[in-house]
Each structure stands twice: as C-alpha cells, then as structure tokens.
Amino acid sequence: MLQTLPALTDPLLYSRGDPHAVWRTLRRESPVSWHEYGEHGGYWAVTTHAAGLEVLTDWERFTSTKGIFLRPNFKDPYPGAGKMMALSDPPRHDRLRKAIMGLFTVRAVSRMEERTRKVVREALHGVVEAGRCDFVKDIAARIPLAVSAELLSISMDDVEMLAKVTTDAAENSTDIDGIDAQEAHFEILRHYSSIIEEKRRNPGRDLVSALTSAQAEGLDITDDEVILTCDNVIVAANETTRQAVGAGMLALLESPGQWRGLRDGDLRLKPAAEEFLRWTAPVTHILRTAQHDTVLEGVRIRAGDAVTVWLPSLNRDEKVFDRADSFLLDRTSNHHVSFGGGGHFCIGANLARLTIRVLLDELAHLPAEIEVSGEPQRIGSYILGGLTSLPLTFRPS
C-alpha cells in the first residue's frame, strides 16, 4: 500500500497535490516508515504526534548536528554543523540559546506590541486604499522584518532587501544547497559581517549585540559563528511568520463562519492565533540523525539513519486533536508542534504569536470586505509549507 503513495520529497505533492492525505495514510498504516531518497539510501518518516515529539525532545538519541532538513546531499557534512544554534546539541546549544533568549521572552516581546500594531495597521490600510493586493507579497512578506528589524540588528533601510533575501534563501528549498539559496545566504552573512564591529563598539538591545556581549564574557563562539547564528535566526523568524500569516489568511477566508466570528468579536485572539499556527505548520519537516541503534514505535533504527518528523502531520493527529481536519479558531486544547519541540523549540515563538494576534485583531476591525480574487499558489517545497501568492480584493465597508 505504502509503495503507491507519492514521495514526501516530491515538490508537486505540495504545490498541486494533497500531502495531508499521504500523511493520514502513514499515520494509520506506518507511523514510522522508511522512504528511499536518491543516491543516499533513504530516511525514516515519523508522522504521529507522540513519536514525533519523542524524536524532537531526545537529543541524546537523535542529534541536530548532522543537518536539520533533507537535501540532495544530506549525508555530506552540513555547513555550520555543531556551530550554529539550530545545528548543535547541548551543552553548546544551550549556551548559544541563553545568550540571546532575553530578547525573545514574553516580557521583552510584549514591549514590541505598539510597533507591531503600527506596522500591521499601516500595511493593511495601504492595501485597502489600493483596493487589491497579493497578500503574501504585500503583507505577509513585509510585516515580520518590519516588526523585528531593530531586534534582529537591521536598519529600516535594509528591511526590504533582507525580506526578499530571506525569502530567496527559504523558497529555494527544493535544493537548499543550490546556487540561488547559497547566494541569498551570502547576502545575509555579508550584512551581519558588516555590522559586527560597530555593534561591539556600540552595543544595543539586539541580536548581534547580545552575541558579541556574551562572547566578551567568555562564550566560546567565533565571529563567524555569531554571523551564522544570525543567519539562522533571521531566516527562521521571517519565514515562519510569513508562511503562517499567508496560509492562515486563506484558511480564514475559506471559513466564513470563523471569519464572521472573529469580526463579531465572538472569538478570542490567543486561541485563534494558535489555530493559525496549527493549521498552517510553516515548517514541513525537521531532520534528526540517530546517534546509536534505537527503537521507535517498535521500529528498529540504526545509528546514522536520517529520521524526519513531519510537523503538519503531527498537527493533524486524530489521537491528539478533536476534529483535526477542521479549522477552528476557538480550539481550546491545541498542543500543536509548529514551533518544534524540546530544546530546539523556536526561539521566536513569542514574537510570531504576538504578530499573528495583532494581525487578527486589526483584520477584525478593518473597514473593508475582503475576497480572494485569483488562484492561490502553494509553495512546491518539502521544507516550507505555505503560499507564494494570494490575490485579494478589498472593498471599503
């Protein structure tokens, strides 16, 4: 039966097919399944909530240091392995995370609400005046970095350029080692290379300053590693929120009852934001590598095997979520894994949640009727889930 399923690494499955139907079959018939992949053997696919969290939370069995996404040459050493925060295990990962965690706490992020609201309100009113927009390009792609620019050590003059570059770095994800993706990452690295000395001389409350200050206090991290960590954080921060906002907006407009409840004030913003995140699951899979021979859900996994966790599948696990295939903004029990799990739980989760809550609030009070005016385009990627285009029209009400 499983041999007839589309390959999880086929871009067409995500741009034109139905990956949720494939994951549903895997959850039911083979929650830990082996998949061939090019010349490098293959990988294990984990599709249930319990087994997925077991992989994501147990770094002693499943390491991040060999890479965190499938790629054509995923058996080769990964650039930054063991150095970048996303590509390290404790204790190094914990030291790096501690150096910047203060920037992303609930208290720290709450101080950004006024700026977030200003950015979102201006962007929305701009497209209402224009009468139409591509919501992905004109709203979802612009808001995250405009909100977090200062935090991520970006001047407002560079926001537009870096928003495009982070998109290029992420959307070339059918080959994340390809030339276009590498060039995009090089642009990000050049940006941070150009400001590291200035931030060392004149530190502020931002990402580079936090890392260089920790470096001065004895953190074992080189300047190159500071820059790689910044690349990791900015791409993740921008793309996670961008994809959740774009795909979530489409889900909202395709659910008239939910949209009406939001606009009438019948739905609370925090649960609504969490459902946005569960439903969209912006990161499609996370890779870990088995440290030693082990057993997962009765399946024997060998040391060195690639083990992938498919987050959208975990978010639709029928054993965890009631009416898992329904978009319900008033869902009260919502143990989604859109931010991952364990020590690598997304450091920017509080900021993403704030941005989505503010967006939903501003949308609910927007003096306009909104309609989809063209065919939404989905990303053909097994790494990122979301849209490349969502044409909308706005009619003042």
What's the pLDDT tens digit per position in 52-104?
999 999 999 999 999 999 887 777 777 677 878 899 999 999 999 999 999 99
pLDDT at residue 1 in the model: 47
Distance CA 233, CA 244 (A): 17
User: pLDDT band at residue 338, thresholds of 50, 70 and 90?
Assistant: very high
* C-alpha dihedral, 161 to 162 to 163 to 166, nearest 10°: 130
Question: How is residue 177 written in tokens?
Answer: 């080692």
The domain of 142 spans 2-396
pLDDT at residue 170 in the model: 64
Q: How many domains in the chain?
A: 1
pLDDT at residue 178 in the model: 56
Residue 126 has pLDDT above 80, yes or no: yes
Residue 24 has pLDDT above 80, yes or no: yes
| CATH code for the domain in which residue 332 is found | 1.10.630.10
Name every residue whose Cβ is closer than 8 Å to that of residue 360 and which is 6 or more positions away in sequence: 262, 269, 272, 273, 276
Give percent of the chain with pLDDT exceeding 70.
Answer: 95
pTM, whole model, 2 decimals?
0.94
Cβ atoms of residues 381 and 173 within 8 Å: yes
Q: What's the pLDDT tens digit per position in 310-336?
A: 999 999 999 999 999 999 999 999 999
pLDDT at residue 208 in the model: 94
Mean pLDDT of 237-250: 91
Mean pLDDT of 255-266: 94
pLDDT at residue 161 in the model: 82
pLDDT at residue 169 in the model: 67
Residue 180 has pLDDT above 70, yes or no: no
